[in-house]
Amino acid sequence: MELRRVVITGIGTINPLGNSISEYFTNLNNGVSGACPITRFDASLFKTKFACEVKNFDPTQFGIDKKEVKRMDLFAQFAMAASYEAVNDSKLDFENEDKDRIGVIIGSGIGGITTLTLEAMGYSEGGRVPRFNPFMIPKMIPDIAAGLVSIKYGLRGPNYATVSACASSCHAMINAFDIIRLGKADVILTGGSEAGISIQSVGGFNSAQALSVRNEDYLTASRPFDKTRDGFVMGEGAGILIFEEYERAVARGAKIYAEVCGTGMTADAYHITAPHPDGCGATKVMELALAEAGIKPEEVDYINVHGTSTPLGDIAELKAIKAVFGEHAYNVNISSTKSMTGHLLGGAGAIESIACISAMETGIIPPTINFKEEDPEIDYKLNLTLNKAQKREVNVAINNVFGFGGHNACMVFKKIK
């Protein structure tokens, strides 16, 4: 069986750097920090009082009715809005399409955790007869974002969620890629969404000592590869990409952003939260993705790294890159856009894959901002694109994502000339 080619024909995002693709690309390339004091709840008693929140978001601007808004958790609203932009960008006319051949796969690490938190708190505060919002369950479950998008557009193809912590959206995209190339669908709306800036999430990650506590300097708190990095900064939002079979996209005259040409999935099998110190799982996942793509390491121009700004993770990932790329590791551009967006958890892989597309579209490598002090354990001969964007033609880019539990995923994108 000959595997079909898969391309990206539409993109959409809601994230801390903007509520549209154009805003996102502009702020990425200008090195803007999305961090701000937390407004989602009163964080005054928490160790971490800041995050990268989505700003000025009005779901009704993205085709969502006011009544529908009340029935959706914020993570689902983000997914619906990003899907709306991606669909419009793709110029797909679903009324003239075979909807049985179009699916939706959207990942989320924690789904509607804000809904769950508020409902549980409401019950515990009154000692009353159990009385919960009838929409609590459909607002909370991680798969509801994919369900809502399919309902809105009447899409009857494969429809589900992937849940693998921070690797969730990348696993969703890998599934979409495989389904299309195997001929089981022709188009899939895929990516991820997260709205985890909540009491439980911030409190839990604080207890795990995973979040930065740099409250007095929150704008520069996410500082991958810096000696003083002290944890990740929570982000929120969604990224949706339209994956489409290549010949079909060409036939309808679609704009093609990039080809999805290789993927990899591995496990560290090491620790529930920490990466393997030698980056073994990360090394293997990049090797698998490049092998599937038929791409040599020296052909890669840009790596959007997981780069969470944690003491262990940043070092392990750079070790893996040097193991895979050898001397070419010093020629490739590397950057962590989490320095600007914060960590979107289950939505990270989607918006970072879109950042790879930005680099291909604009010829600009987005920077790793907030770097100040060298860490003796990091090799700064690597081009980490520190503090300022760099111009470069990008024909091949890869995106790495790693999740709690040791989940590793990698995607390879290639420009079609």
Active site residues: 166, 306, 343
What H or E segment, with its residue span, contains residue 190? strand 187-194
Query: To which residue do tokens 């070790």 refer?
Result: 319
Residues 193/145, Cβ–Cβ less than 8 Å = yes
Between CA 87 and CA 98 the distance in angstroms is 15
Identity of residue 339: S
Query: To which residue do tokens 């962590």 refer?
Result: 336
Between CA 187 and CA 277 the distance in angstroms is 39
Residues for the chain: how many in total?
417
Q: Which residues contact 358 (CB under 8 A, 6 or more apart)?
A: 24, 25, 28, 29, 364, 366
Q: Phi and psi for 390 in degrees, rounded to 5?
A: -130, 145
In three state form, how does the secondary structure of 328-385 look? HHHCCEEECCHHHHCECHHHHHHHHHHHHHHHHHHCEECCECCCCCCCCCCCCCCECC
Residues 394/360, Cβ–Cβ less than 8 Å = yes
Q: Of 62, 86, 72, 113, nearest to 8 (Cα)?
A: 86
Terminal Cα-to-Cα distance of the chain (whole angstroms):
26
Residues 77/99, Cβ–Cβ less than 8 Å = no
Between CA 175 and CA 282 the distance in angstroms is 19
Q: Of 57, 97, 104, nearest to 81 (Cα)?
A: 57
Between CA 391 and CA 409 the distance in angstroms is 27
Q: Which residues contact 216 (CB under 8 A, 6 or more apart)?
A: none
Sheet holding 302-304, edge to edge: 159-160, 102-107, 187-194, 237-245, 6-14, 258-267, 407-414, 396-403, 302-304, 333-335
